[in-house]
Amino acid sequence: MTVEMGPPPAPCVPAYRWRLQDRTTVFGTWCPWCRVVHGYAWPEATARPRMAHCATRESPFCARYYRLVCLGELKDGVYAPTLAQAEMIAAVKRLSAPGGRGSAADSSIAAIPAYRLRSSPMHLAFWCPWCRDVHLHGAAAGDGHRVAHCDVESSPFRDGGYHLTCFGTAPSGRLLPHQTAHELLVVSKMLGDREAMS
Ligand SMILES: [Zn+2]
Ligand SMILES: [Zn+2]
């Protein structure tokens, strides 16, 4: 199993931030090859390339650089969503594909990272920064368009709904990553090329 690393820019991996007890913010990505979270100091807003901490030779990132794209805040790094190796490779492809390439009819509809819940496997869920609440959807249909569960008038999803993209398994609805509206819009733009997602 390989990931096309290609020339720079380095591939993008899904990552999450959280605060340590001393209030320092760090962020990291859960690695399905090493089966740990590789953590880094929380930096500037730009996702600059970082050397992967992989000690597992089978990892496509071992001794390579990647860029961590923050998909939200966790209560702690131990709650980072987990992905199977194939899921991580798919997630990296989705995040790394140049956005806006296709002219999908639903390109105005936000693409939102969502998660299966270990506590409730029939659901695909995400924490909505507009409603400040968890939106639960059926997981059976897989990735794709859903009618928005937003209750607040200010939500940009109310009319067109949203396009859910699964980024692995979170422990429960209470432990989902909390993304800011800005983080969600940045990632949505990165995922904008729907054709590259299949
Ligand atoms: Zn690793
Ligand atoms: Zn909402």
Domain-wise residue ranges, the chain? 9-96, 99-198
- Report percent pLDDT > 70 for the chain: 86
Of the bound ligands, which one is closest to the alpha carbon of residue 53?
1
Q: Return the higher-pLDDT residue of 192 and 11.
A: 11
Residue 100 pLDDT exceeds 70: no
The pLDDT assigned to 102 comes to 39
* Beta strands at 111-117 and 162-170: parallel, antiparallel or unpaired: parallel
User: How does pLDDT run across 140-170, given as a tens digit for each residue?
Assistant: 999 999 999 999 999 999 989 999 999 999 9
CA 154/CA 130 separation, integer angstroms: 7
CA 78/CA 12 separation, integer angstroms: 21
- Report percent pLDDT > 90 for the chain: 74
CA of 89 to the centre of ligand 2 (A): 28
CA of 135 to the centre of ligand 2 (A): 7
Burial class (CB in 10 A: 0-12, 13-18, 19+), 92: buried
Residue 106 pLDDT exceeds 70: no
